[in-house]
C-alpha cells in the first residue's frame, strides 16, 4: 500500500533569545523584569505573560519596556496567541527606535510567528497558504537584511518548514542543503538534516504515487533520506531527534519494501523492524529533555554574577531552543504504539498472520490516533478473513464499518470476506459482501474482483440467463417501438444487475440511438454514466454524470447522479471536490434520497482525518435540516461516540439526554436512555469496588448509580413496550446485585424494590417484564418462589430478556413441566430470530446469545424427558453454531449433574473439570461446577472402604468447598453453601476422631470448622446458611 510520509506540523524551533535588556530606569522595573524572566525560563508562559503585562503597565516609560514587549511576544507565541504576539511586536517597533540587536530579534521572530499561526489553521482554510507565504517572505527579508546574523541558520530552517507546509519541496531542499553547507559544524544542524530527510522522502513517495513516476528516482531520494537519518542516529547527541529519525527511517524502509522486488523485501522489512524497535517511549524522551533545562536558572544566575554577558546570551539562546523542543515533545503522541502497529503491518506483509495479529492485539489499547486504531482493526480483521476464522472476521468487519465505514484503507476487506464465504460455499453471505464492496468502494481497486466473484456466486443461485434469453428472443422479432424500448431497457437492466457493464452500456447506448426522446433514453444516459463508473472508470464517469445532471436537473435520477459523481471523485483521489459535490447534493436536492446520506459520508471522510469538530458540525447540521429523518438518532449517536472516545463522557450523556428531550415520542429515545443508564453504571463501576472507595469516591459512586437507576426507571415509565426494556432491567438487576454485594441493601430490600417497580409499571407488559427480572434475582435463593412469580406474570405475547426466560424455562424443567418449558425456549428463538439470509454466526451478539439459550434449553428439556439422543442433537448444534457461548459449558454441567445422579461419578467429574477451566463460563457456572465437584467427592468418600483413601477424599471435598469463597466471592449463593458444607465436613471429621492421643488434631479440625463458619457469617450475612452457621458457632463454643 502506498503511504505518503506525514507532513511536519511543528513550527520553527527558536534558536535565538532576546538580547540583554536595556538598563532599567528604576529598581522596581529591573526587579519586575528579572522576576518575569525567571518565570518565563521555567516554561510557565501563562504566568510569565501576566508578569510582563503588569511590568509594561506599571512602568510604561521605562527603558526596559521594549525588551519586555519582545519577551511578552515570546510568551504569547508559546501560548499560541499569535495575533497578540504580532500586535505587541508592532507596538515595540512603532515605539522609540529599537537598538539594532533588538530590531534584529523582532525581524527574526515575526516570520516564525506567522509560520506557527499558519500551521495552527485548518488545512482547508484559504488563509493558511497565504499566511505561510507571508512567513516565507518575512524569512527571506530577514535573511537578505542580516546575512551575518547569528541566527541565520534558524531563519533558513524556519523558511524551509513554511515551504514544506505548502508543499514547495524543491525550495525546502534548496534551503536545507544551503544550511548544511553554510553551517556544517553547528550543533543544531541535525535538525535541518532531519527535515531535509523528510523532504527527500516526501518527494520519493510522491514519485511512487505517480502512475508514470520513476521508481529509481524515488528510491534514490529515499536513499538520500536514509543516509541523513542514519547520520542523525549515529551522532548520538540529540535523543529526541534520534527518536524521530528512527521512526521516519522505519517509515521510509517500510514504504520502499512495498515497492521493491520480492527478493529485496525481506532485508528492507528487517531494517524497518529494527528502526521501529529503536523508537523510545515519549515519557523517557520528555524526561531527558526536562533534565536538560532543569539547571538553567542556576547556570544563568552564575553568568549574571560573573557579569559574563556573552555566556548569558548563549545560555538564553540555548534555553529558548530547549524549551521549545520540550513543548513540541509534550505535544506529540507517543510513537512507540505507532511503531509497534507498523511492525504488525510488516508481519502482515510477510504473511506472518498470527504474528501480525498478536502485535495488533497487544498494541491496540495504547494507540491514540484514529488512523492507527483503524489500521490495527483492519489488519487484525484481514488476518482472520484470510485464515477463514469466520465469526471473528465478520465481527471485525462490522466493527470497522461502524467506525470507519468505506475508508479506502480497507477497500479489499469486504471482497476478502466475500471470498472467504465463497470458499465455504455460503453463497448468500458471499454475495452480500461482494455487494458491500461495490457499494462502499465503487472505484476501489477490487471492483472488478467483486463483480466477477459476485457473478460467480449468482450463477449458482439466480436465473438471469433465462431472463436474458427471453429479452433477446423478443427483440429479435422487431417489436413495436413502445414495447421494444421496454424490452431493450430490460435486457440492459439484466446486464446491469449481473455486472456485465460493457454489455449494459452497449445496450443502453442502443436504447438512446434507437429510441431517442423517450423516458427510457433519458434514463439510459444515467445508466451509461453509472455503468462507466461501476466498471471502474471513475474518471470517465465524472463528465458523463455531470452532463446528465445538467441536461436532466429535475429528474429523480439527478441527485443520484450527483451523489455518484461525488463517489467517483472520491475514488479518483479528488477528495475535496468529492466532498464539495456531496455538499451540492444536500444543497440542490435537500429532499432527495441521497441528501441525508451525504452528511454522513462527509462526516466519515472528516472523521478519517480526525477532524472531529467538523464531524460534529455536520451531524448537528443534519439534525437541524432533517429533524424527522430516521437517521437522527444515528447523528446523535455519532456525536456522543466522539465525545465518549475523547473521554468527554459527561458531554456524551448530555447528548443522549438532549435526544430524549427533543424526541420523546421516538422509540429510539429508549435506546438513548439505555445508553445513559449503562454509561452511568459503568462510570460507577470504573471507580472500583465500593468497599475500597473513600468517602468522596463513594459519594460520586452514589451519584452515578442513582443517575443510572433514574434513567432506567424513566425508560420503563415512558417506553414500556420498547425492546430496550429487557436490557434496562438487566442493568437495574446488575445495580441491585452490586448494592447487595456492597452491603448497601439486604436481600429483602432488593425484592421490595422490584416489587414496587412492578406495582407502578405503566402497563401490564412492562409489569410482567419487571416481575421476570425480580424472579431472575429471587431464583438465586428460592427457586420455588421464583417459579411462582414467573408463572403468575408470564404472557406469551410479551418479549422478555432471554436471560429471564432462561431462568423460567429451567425452573419449569425442574418442576417437570416439560411441555411448558419447550414452549418457553421455542419462544426465545422466535422473539430473537436470526435475520433471513444471515448465517447464525453472523447475527448480532444478542441474537446469537438468545439462540444459544434456546438450543440449550431445548436440549435440557429433551434430557429431562429421557431422550438422550435428541438432547445430544441440540447440544451438538449449540456447540457447532455458538461454541463461544457459556451455554455450551452449561450443557456440560447439566450432563454432569445427570451423570452424578446416575452414579457415574468419574464421567461427571471429567466434564466438570472442563467447565471450571472454561474461560467463557460465567463465574456462577464455574462456582456451581466446583460445588458439584465437592458433592461428588463426598459421594466417593462414602463409597470408599479404605480409611486412608476415605479421609483423603473428604479432605479434597473440604478444600474444594472452601475455595469457592476464595475464587468466586461474587457468587454468594454457591460460596455460602460451599463454606457451610466445608464446616459440616470438618465437624464430621473431628467427631470421628475418638483416640484420646489425637485430641489436638480433633481440636484443630473443630477450630477449622469454627473459622469456616465465622467466614460464612462475616462474608455472606444474607445467606440462608448464615443463621445455621451462627447456631453451630454457638454450639461449638470458643476455639480450643
Closest of 795, 728, 787 to residue 765, by C-alpha: 795
Closest of 768, 772, 756, 658 to residue 721, by C-alpha: 768
* Ramachandran assignment for 801, one of left (phi > 0), alpha (psi -120 to 50 degrees), beta (any other): beta
For residue 612, what pLDDT band results from cuts at 50, 70 and 90? very high
CB distance 106 to 92 below 8 Å: yes
Provide the grid cell at 242: 534520534
Going by the DSSP 8-state scheme, the letter that residue 758 receives in this structure is: H
DSSP assignment string, 656-719: HHHHHHH-TTSTTHHHHHHHHHHHHHHHHHHT--GGG--HHHHHHHHHHHHHHHHHHHHHHHH-
Q: Which residues contact 96 (CB under 8 A, 6 or more apart)?
A: 66
Lowest mean pLDDT among 212-216, 358-362, 439-443, 719-723: 439-443
Going by the DSSP 8-state scheme, the letter that residue 7 receives in this structure is: P
Q: Cα-flanking dihedrals φ and ψ of residue 1016, to 5°?
A: -60, -50
pLDDT at 477 (0 to 100): 65
Closest of 685, 715, 679 to residue 700, by C-alpha: 685
Q: Which residues contact 919 (CB under 8 A, 6 or more apart)?
A: none
For residue 159, what pLDDT band results from cuts at 50, 70 and 90? very high
Provide the grid cell at 933: 465437584
For residue 324, what pLDDT band results from cuts at 50, 70 and 90? low
905-917 vs 923-943: helix crossing angle, rounded to 10: 150
What is the C-alpha separation between 939 and 932, in angstroms, rounded?
Answer: 11
920-932 pLDDT, tens digit each: 777 888 899 999 9
Q: Cα-flanking dihedrals φ and ψ of residue 220, to 5°?
A: -65, -40
Higher pLDDT, 958 or 844: 958
Handedness of CA 182, 187, 188, 192 (dihedral sign): positive
Determine what percent of the chain falls in helix, strand and coil, rounding each to the nearest 5: 75, 0, 25
Provide the grid cell at 524: 439510459
Provide the grid cell at 98: 529599537
- Among all chains, which residue has been given the C-alpha cell 439527478? 558
pLDDT at 994 (0 to 100): 84
User: Which alpha helices (H) appear in 902-998, and where do they start and end?
Assistant: 905-917, 923-943, 947-967, 972-991
Mean pLDDT on 814-837: 92
* pLDDT above 70 (res 452): no
CB distance 181 to 196 below 8 Å: no
- SS3 for 432? helix
CB distance 18 to 102 below 8 Å: yes
| Cα→Cα distances 307→31, 68, 130, 303, 727, Å | 17, 21, 45, 6, 75
- SS3 for 138? helix
Mean pLDDT on 794-823: 90
* pLDDT above 90 (res 319): no
pLDDT at 6 (0 to 100): 34
Share of the chain above pLDDT 70, in %: 91
Give the chain's mean pLDDT: 87
55-107 pLDDT, tens digit each: 999 999 898 999 999 999 999 999 999 999 999 999 999 988 999 889 999 99
Q: Which of 210-224, 438-452, 472-486 has the highest mean pLDDT?
A: 210-224
CB distance 701 to 682 below 8 Å: no
497-518 pLDDT, tens digit each: 888 999 999 999 999 999 998 8
Going by the DSSP 8-state scheme, the letter that residue 997 receives in this structure is: G
Mean pLDDT on 1009-1027: 90
Provide the grid cell at 860: 435440557
For residue 461, what pLDDT band results from cuts at 50, 70 and 90? low
Q: How far is CA 463 from the centre of its chain?
A: 43
Rg over CA atoms, the chain: 37
CB distance 67 to 22 below 8 Å: yes
Closest of 9, 296, 323 to residue 166, by C-alpha: 9
* pLDDT above 60 (res 11): no
For residue 448, what pLDDT band results from cuts at 50, 70 and 90? very low
* pLDDT above 90 (res 857): yes
Instruction: Give the per-residue SS3 of 154-218.
Output: HHHHHHHHHHHHCCCHHHHHHHHHHHHHHCCCCCCHHHHHHHHHHHHHHHHHHHHHCCCCCHHHH
Closest of 383, 500, 388, 486 to residue 451, by C-alpha: 500
What is the C-alpha separation between 1039 and 1029, in angstroms, rounded?
Answer: 15
CB distance 85 to 77 below 8 Å: yes
Provide the grid cell at 456: 460467480
For residue 339, what pLDDT band results from cuts at 50, 70 and 90? confident
Q: Which residues contact 852 (CB under 8 A, 6 or more apart)?
A: 878, 881, 882, 885, 887, 888
What is the C-alpha separation between 770 and 573, in angstroms, rounded?
Answer: 55
State the CB neighbour count (10 A cutoff) for residue 476: 8
pLDDT at 12 (0 to 100): 34
CB distance 101 to 19 below 8 Å: yes
* pLDDT above 60 (res 23): no
Provide the grid cell at 43: 516554561
* pLDDT above 90 (res 936): yes
Reported residue count of the chain is 1040
679-715 pLDDT, tens digit each: 999 999 899 888 889 999 999 999 999 999 999 999 9
202-211 pLDDT, tens digit each: 999 999 988 8
Provide the grid cell at 883: 461454541
What is the C-alpha separation between 799 and 722, in angstroms, rounded?
Answer: 10
What is the C-alpha separation between 741 and 731, in angstroms, rounded?
Answer: 15
Q: Long-range contacts made by residues 683-689, C-beta under 8 angstroms, separation at least 24? A: 683/649, 684/708, 685/738, 689/742
* pLDDT above 60 (res 13): no
To the nearest 10°, report the CA torsion of 159, 160, 162, 164.
170
Provide the grid cell at 904: 457415574
Provide the grid cell at 74: 515570546
Closest of 694, 709, 716 to residue 765, by C-alpha: 716
Q: Cα-flanking dihedrals φ and ψ of residue 891, to 5°?
A: -65, -45
* pLDDT above 50 (res 902): yes
CB distance 429 to 410 below 8 Å: no
CB distance 374 to 604 below 8 Å: no
Closest of 558, 431, 556, 557 to residue 497, by C-alpha: 431
CB distance 8 to 197 below 8 Å: no
For residue 189, what pLDDT band results from cuts at 50, 70 and 90? confident
- Among all chains, which residue has been given the C-alpha cell 534558536? 15
For residue 1012, what pLDDT band results from cuts at 50, 70 and 90? very high
For residue 494, what pLDDT band results from cuts at 50, 70 and 90? confident
Handedness of CA 214, 216, 222, 224 (dihedral sign): negative
Q: Which residues contact 490 (CB under 8 A, 6 or more apart)?
A: 467, 471
State the CB neighbour count (10 A cutoff) for residue 117: 23
CB distance 221 to 200 below 8 Å: yes
State the CB neighbour count (10 A cutoff) for residue 109: 24
65-78 vs 27-41: helix crossing angle, rounded to 10: 20
Amino acid at each position: 500500500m502506498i503511504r505518503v510520509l506525514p507532513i511536519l506540523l511543528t513550527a520553527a524551533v527558536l534558536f535565538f533569545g532576546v538580547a540583554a535588556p536595556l538598563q532599567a530606569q528604576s529598581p522596581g522595573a529591573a526587579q519586575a523584569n528579572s522576576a518575569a524572566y525567571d518565570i518565563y525560563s521555567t516554561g510557565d508562559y501563562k504566568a510569565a505573560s501576566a508578569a510582563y503585562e503588569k511590568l509594561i503597565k506599571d512602568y510604561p516609560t521605562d527603558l526596559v519596556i521594549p525588551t519586555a514587549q519582545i519577551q511578552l511576544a515570546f510568551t504569547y507565541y508559546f501560548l499560541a496567541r499569535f495575533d497578540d504576539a504580532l500586535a505587541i511586536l508592532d507596538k515595540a517597533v512603532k515605539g522609540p527606535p529599537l537598538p539594532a540587536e533588538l530590531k534584529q530579534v523582532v525581524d527574526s521572530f515575526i516570520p516564525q510567528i506567522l509560520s506557527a499561526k499558519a500551521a495552527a489553521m485548518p488545512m482547508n482554510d484559504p488563509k493558511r497558504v497565504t499566511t505561510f507565504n507571508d512567513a516565507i517572505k518575512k524569512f527571506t527579508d530577514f535573511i537578505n537584511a542580516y546575512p551575518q546574523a547569528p541566527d541565520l541558520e534558524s531563519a533558513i530552517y524556519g523558511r524551509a518548514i513554511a515551504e514544506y507546509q505548502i508543499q514547495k519541496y524543491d525550495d525546502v531542499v534548496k534551503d536545507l542543503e544551503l544550511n548544511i553547507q553554510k553551517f556544517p559544524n553547528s550543533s543544531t544542524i541535525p535538525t535541518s538534516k532531519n527535515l531535509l530527510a523528510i523532504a527527500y522522502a516526501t518527494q520519493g513517495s510522491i514519485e511512487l504515487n505517480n502512475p508514470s513516476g520513476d521508481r529509481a528516482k524515488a528510491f534514490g531520494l529515499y536513499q538520500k533520506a536514509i543516509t541523513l537519518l542514519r547520520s542523525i542516529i549515529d551522532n548520538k547527541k540529540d535523543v529526541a531527534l534520534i527518536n524521530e529519525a528512527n521512526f521516519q527511517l522505519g517509515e521510509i524502509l517500510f514504504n520502499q519494501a512495498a515497492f521493491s522486488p520480492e527478493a529485496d523485501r525481506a532485508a528492507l522489512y528487517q531494517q524497518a523492524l529494527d528502526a521501529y524497535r529503536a523508537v523510545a517511549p515519549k515519557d523517557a524522551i520528555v524526561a531527558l529533555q526536562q533534565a536538560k533545562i532543569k539547571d538553567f536558572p542556576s547556570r544563568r544566575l552564575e553568568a549574571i554574577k560573573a557579569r559574563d554577558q556573552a555566556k548569558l546570551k548563549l545560555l538564553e539562546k540555548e534555553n529558548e531552543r530547549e524549551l521549545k523542543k520540550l513543548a513540541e515533545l509534550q505535544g506529540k503522541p507517543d510513537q512507540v504504539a505507532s511503531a509497534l502497529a507498523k511492525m504488525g503491518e510488516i508481519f502482515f506483509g510477510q504473511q506472518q498472520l498470527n504474528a501480525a495479529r498478536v502485535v495488533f492485539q497487544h498494541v491496540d489499547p495504547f494507540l491514540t490516533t484514529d488512523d492507527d486504531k483503524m489500521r490495527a482493526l483492519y489488519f487484525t480483521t484481514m488476518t482472520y478473513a484470510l485464515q477463514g476464522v469466520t465469526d471473528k472476521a465478520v465481527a471485525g468487519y462490522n466493527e470497522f464499518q461502524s467506525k470507519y465505514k468505506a475508508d479506502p484503507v480497507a477497500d479489499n476487506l469486504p471482497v476478502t470476506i466475500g471470498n472467504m464465504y465463497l470458499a465455504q460455499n455460503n453463497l448468500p453471505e458471499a454475495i452480500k459482501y461482494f455487494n458491500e464492496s461495490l457499494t462502499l468502494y465503487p472505484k476501489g481497486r477490487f471492483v472488478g474482483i467483486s463483480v466477477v466473484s459476485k457473478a460467480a456466486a449468482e450463477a449458482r443461485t439466480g436465473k438471469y440467463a433465462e431472463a436474458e434469453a427471453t429479452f433477446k428472443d423478443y427483440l429479435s422479432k422487431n417489436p413495436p417501438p413502445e414495447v421494444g424500448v421496454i424490452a431493450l431497457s430490460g435486457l440492459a437492466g439484466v446486464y446491469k444487475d449481473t455486472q456485465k457493464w460493457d454489455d449494459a452500456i452497449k445496450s443502453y447506448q442502443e436504447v438512446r440511438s434507437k429510441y431517442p426522446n423517450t423516458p427510457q433514453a433519458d434514463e439510459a444516459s444515467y445508466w451509461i454514466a453509472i455503468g462507466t463508473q461501476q466498471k471502474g472508470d471513475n474518471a470517465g464517469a465524472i463528465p458523463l454524470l455531470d452532463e446528465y445532471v445538467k441536461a436532466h436537473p429535475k429528474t429523480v435520477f439527478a441527485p443520484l447522479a450527483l451523489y455518484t459523481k461525488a463517489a467517483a471523485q472520491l475514488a479518483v483521489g479528488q477528495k475535496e471536490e468529492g466532498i464539495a459535490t456531496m455538499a451540492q447534493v444536500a444543497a440542490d436536492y435537500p429532499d432527495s434520497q441521497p441528501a441525508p446520506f451525504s452528511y454522513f459520508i462527509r462526516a466519515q471522510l472528516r472523521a478519517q482525518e480526525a477532524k472531529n469538530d467538523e464531524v460534529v458540525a455536520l451531524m448537528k447540521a443534519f439534525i437541524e435540516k432533517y429533524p424527522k429523518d430516521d437517521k437522527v438518532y444515528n447523528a446523535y449517536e455519532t456525536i456522543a461516540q466522539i465525545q465518549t472516545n475523547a473521554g468527554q463522557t459527561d458531554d456524551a450523556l448530555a447528548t443522549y439526554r438532549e435526544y430524549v428531550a427533543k424526541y420523546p415520542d421516538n422509540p429510539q429515545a429508549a435506546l438513548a436512555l439505555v445508553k445513559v443508564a449503562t454509561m452511568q453504571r459503568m462510570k460507577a463501576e470504573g471507580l472500583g469496588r465500593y468497599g475500597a472507595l473513600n468517602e468522596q469516591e463513594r459519594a460520586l459512586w452514589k451519584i452515578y448509580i442513582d443517575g443510572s437507576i433514574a434513567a432506567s426507571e424513566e425508560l420503563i415509565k415512558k417506553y414500556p413496550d420498547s425492546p430496550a426494556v429487557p436490557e434496562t432491567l438487566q442493568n437495574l438487576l446488575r445495580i441491585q446485585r452490586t448494592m447487595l454485594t456492597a452491603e448497601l441493601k439486604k436481600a429483602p430490600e432488593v425484592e421490595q424494590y422490584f416489587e414496587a417497580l412492578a406495582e407502578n409499571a405503566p402497563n401490564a407488559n412492562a409489569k410482567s417484564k419487571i416481575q421476570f427480572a425480580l424472579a431472575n434475582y429471587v431464583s438465586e435463593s428460592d427457586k420455588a418462589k421464583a417459579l411462582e412469580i414467573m408463572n403468575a406474570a408470564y404472557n406469551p405475547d410479551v418479549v422478555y430478556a432471554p436471560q429471564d426466560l432462561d431462568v423460567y424455562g429451567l425452573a419449569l424443567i425442574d418442576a417437570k413441566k416439560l411441555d411448558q418449558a419447550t414452549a418457553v425456549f421455542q419462544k426465545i428463538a422466535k422473539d430473537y430470530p436470526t435475520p433471513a439470509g444471515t448465517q447464525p454466526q453472523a447475527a448480532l451478539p444478542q441474537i446469537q446469545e438468545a439462540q444459544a439459550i434456546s438450543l440449550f434449553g431445548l436440549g435440557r428439556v429433551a434430557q429431562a424427558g429421557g431422550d438422550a439422543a435428541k438432547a445430544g442433537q441440540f447440544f451438538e448444534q449449540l456447540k457447532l453454531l455458538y461454541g463461544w457461548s457459556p451455554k455450551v459449558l452449561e450443557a456440560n454441567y447439566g450432563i454432569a449433574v445427570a451423570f452424578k445422579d446416575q452414579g457415574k461419578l468419574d464421567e461427571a467429574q471429567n466434564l466438570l473439570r472442563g467447565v471450571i477451566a472454561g474461560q467463557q463460563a460465567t463465574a456462577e457456572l464455574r462456582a456451581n461446577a466446583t460445588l458439584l465437584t465437592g458433592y461428588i467427592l463426598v459421594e466417593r468418600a462414602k463409597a470408599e472402604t479404605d480409611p486412608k483413601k476415605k479421609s483423603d477424599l473428604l479432605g479434597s471435598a473440604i478444600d474444594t468447598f472452601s475455595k469457592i469463597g476464595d475464587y468466586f466471592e461474587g457468587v454468594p449463593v454457591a460460596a455460602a453453601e460451599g463454606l457451610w458444607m466445608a464446616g459440616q465436613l470438618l465437624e464430621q471429621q473431628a467427631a470421628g476422631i475418638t483416640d484420646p492421643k489425637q485430641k489436638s488434631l480433633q481440636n484443630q479440625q473443630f477450630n477449622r470448622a469454627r473459622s469456616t463458619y465465622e467466614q460464612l457469617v462475616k462474608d455472606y450475612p444474607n445467606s440462608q446458611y448464615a443463621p445455621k452457621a451462627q447456631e453451630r458457632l454457638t454450639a461449638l463454643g470458643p476455639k480450643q
